[in-house]
Amino acid sequence: MTTRKSFGAALPSIIFFAAHGSFAQSPVVAPRFEVASLRPETDDDIEIQRQAARSGAGAQAGGLVVSGARFDYTGPTLKALIATAFRIAPRRIAGSDWMDKAYIIHAVMPEGATKEQIPEMLRALLEERFHLTAHRLATEQKGYALVAGKTGLKLNQPREIDRSVCTNWRNADSPGAQSCLDRTNGSDGIVTLSISTDSEWGPHSVRTTKSAAREEFFSATMPQLAQALSTHLSNRGPGPDIPVVDRTGISGERDIVLEMERSPDPEFAAEAYSAALEKIGLRMEKAMAPVEMLIIDHLDKLPAEN
């Protein structure tokens, strides 16, 4: 059976759920799927997804799809499912390697349930089928503090996304949200433009070429920027989570543009972001930063029968 490595920030759905309820506790009476089928993904499943992707079958190629009361989730690792259920980044889950096994879920949500309640429903499903128990642990790790520089701030007033710069818009997981992905040929290789109207850090766009990147946060706060930096730096390598805490003392929303060089070397990421931040009057300095970990107390290796 083929297994998959944990995919860090994982699917956009995980990012969305984490963004809109980070570390939230489950309600006293958590909603549950009315009917749910959960099983390990097989090699045949993966081949079907590849064929669907090649044929342009869209949602059939895998991922999370919600259609009415129907919920289908193809290919997430067990760690990714737990991350969504607890609204926490997968890299902040302490567990075993076998949590990287991929699964397929087909379920029906109860009447009146919303997408925002999916984490609670997944958590109930994991507790039922894997007898999952876990607890949170607050700790500190080596990371960075985002602080104001000495050259004066160069931040813009918040503004709306210019939707005309991207042509391939589609609906995203969060209600009313959209995303866009365009690729064109340029003098510096392929130019990729990715825009989300409702990312983990609010409206957000990234334009990349072979050697450069331009990242823009629309109407973002300093805590959101710190969270974005932490995610970007942590996802660049296999090492531990790299927390970034906001210590700028700057309130309100801003339009934040980071222009930087690109390099395949993960060690280069912090240097590139530091240089980009200095251009706009901010900087990162090494510091101990708070981190909340999810500790798995018990988790069956295989789910109970459907």
Q: Are residues 53 and 185 in the same domain?
A: no
pLDDT of residue 228: 94
Kind of pairing between the strands at 133-148 and 282-298: antiparallel
pLDDT of residue 59: 42
Residue 182 domain-assigned? yes
Residue 78 domain-assigned? yes
Q: Are residues 91 and 161 in the same domain?
A: no
Q: How many secondary structure helices (H) and strands (E) does the chain include? A: 6, 14
pLDDT of residue 55: 62
pLDDT of residue 238: 59
Q: Are residues 30 and 57 in the same domain?
A: yes
Domain containing 66 equals 12-129
Q: Are residues 25 and 83 in the same domain?
A: yes
Q: Are residues 223 and 151 in the same domain?
A: yes
Q: Are residues 171 and 280 in the same domain?
A: yes
Among residues 129, 153, 169, the one where a domain terminates is: 129
Residue 181 domain-assigned? yes
pLDDT of residue 40: 92
Among residues 74, 99, 129, the one where a domain terminates is: 129
Q: Are residues 279 and 162 in the same domain?
A: yes
Q: Are residues 277 and 248 in the same domain?
A: yes
pLDDT of residue 171: 75
Residue 135 domain-assigned? no
Count of structural domains, the chain:
2
Q: Longest Cα pair distance anywhere in the chain, in angstroms?
A: 62
pLDDT in tens, 100-132: 999 999 999 999 998 889 999 999 999 999 999
Among residues 129, 159, 177, the one where a domain terminates is: 129
Closest CA to 26 of 108, 85, 110: 85
pLDDT of residue 60: 44
pLDDT of residue 19: 38
Q: CB count, 10 Å around CB of 61?
A: 17
Q: Are residues 146 and 267 in the same domain?
A: yes
pLDDT of residue 58: 46
Residue 298 domain-assigned? no
- DSSP state at residue 98: G
Q: Do 152 and 114 touch, CB atoms closer than 8 A?
A: no
How far is the C-alpha of 153 from the C-alpha of 167, rounded, in Å?
A: 33
With tokens 């992905």, the residue in question is 181
Residue 303 domain-assigned? no
With tokens 């997981």, the residue in question is 173
Residue 6 domain-assigned? no
Q: Are residues 169 and 242 in the same domain?
A: yes
Which strand (E) or helix (H) includes residue 36? Answer: strand 35-40
pLDDT of residue 199: 85
pLDDT of residue 200: 81
Residue 296 domain-assigned? no
Q: What is the pTM of this model?
A: 0.70
Q: Are residues 198 and 270 in the same domain?
A: yes
Blockwise average pLDDT, block size 10, the chain, 306 residues: 34 39 49 93 79 56 78 91 91 86 94 90 96 94 92 87 88 73 89 90 92 94 94 76 93 94 81 94 94 94 88
pLDDT in tens, 43-96: 887 777 777 666 654 444 457 888 889 999 988 899 999 999 999 888 889 888
Q: Are residues 92 and 165 in the same domain?
A: no
